[in-house]
Each structure stands twice: as structure tokens, then as C-alpha cells.
């Protein structure tokens, strides 16, 4: 498990192993647009301010993934204990 931190409120949200980041955000009342939920469409693209995403989508290019400044929370996860999001 890891946590995502909302930069605007400082809120920490736990993401359990069997739950997507998008689902954890939705359960916490955070409004995030999603569509395909498979890492294909890019609808849920979210900026990452710190931490290292574990990219599992097919939307971002390798260069974009390596930059670690955005990720797709419908399918991607985190390699670091906390991922700080621009939300
Ligand atoms: Fe389509 Fe996340 S909802 S990439």
C-alpha cells in the first residue's frame, strides 16, 4: 500500500493493494474525471509534484513516464510510499 497526498489540502489518502488510485480518490470524495479506466484514453491524467509513479498505462510515452511529473491514476500506482498530486 502507499498514500497519495493532495497538494491543495494536504490530505493523505491510503491506496490499498486491490484498489486503484482513481477509486481511492473517488471514495475519499475527490472528483476526478475517468473514462476508459484502462490507461488508454488519458482522461484521468494528473500532475505529480513529488514521488515516483509506477506507470502501468499505454497512454504516456516512455519519455513522459521517465519525467515522473504526471501519471494516470485509473491504473498506475506508486513506487514511493507517498505520491504528491496536484489535486
Ligand atoms: Fe482512461 Fe485513465 S481513464 S487513462
pLDDT tens by residue, 9-67? 999 999 999 999 999 999 999 999 999 999 999 999 999 999 999 999 999 999 999 99
**Cβ of residue 40 lying under 6 Å from some atom of ligand 1:** yes
ipTM: 0.99
**Cβ of residue 34 lying under 6 Å from some atom of ligand 1:** yes
Contacts by residues 3-9 (CB-CB < 8 Å, ≥ 24 positions apart): 3/81, 3/82, 3/83, 4/73, 4/78, 4/82, 4/83, 4/84, 4/85, 5/82, 5/83, 5/84, 5/85, 6/30, 6/85, 6/87, 7/49, 7/84, 7/85, 7/86, 7/87, 8/87
pTM for the model: 0.96
Amino acid at each position: 500500500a502507499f498514500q497519495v497526498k493532495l497538494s491543495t489540502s494536504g490530505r493523505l489518502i491510503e491506496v490499498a493493494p486491490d484498489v486503484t488510485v482513481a477509486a481511492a480518490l473517488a471514495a475519499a470524495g475527490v472528483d476526478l474525471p475517468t473514462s476508459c479506466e484502462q490507461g488508454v484514453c488519458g482522461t484521468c491524467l494528473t500532475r505529480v509534484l513529488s514521488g515516483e509513479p509506477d506507470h502501468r498505462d499505454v497512454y504516456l510515452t516512455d519519455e513522459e513516464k521517465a519525467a515522473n511529473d504526471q501519471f494516470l491514476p485509473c491504473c498506475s500506482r506508486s513506487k514511493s510510499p507517498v505520491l504528491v498530486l496536484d489535486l
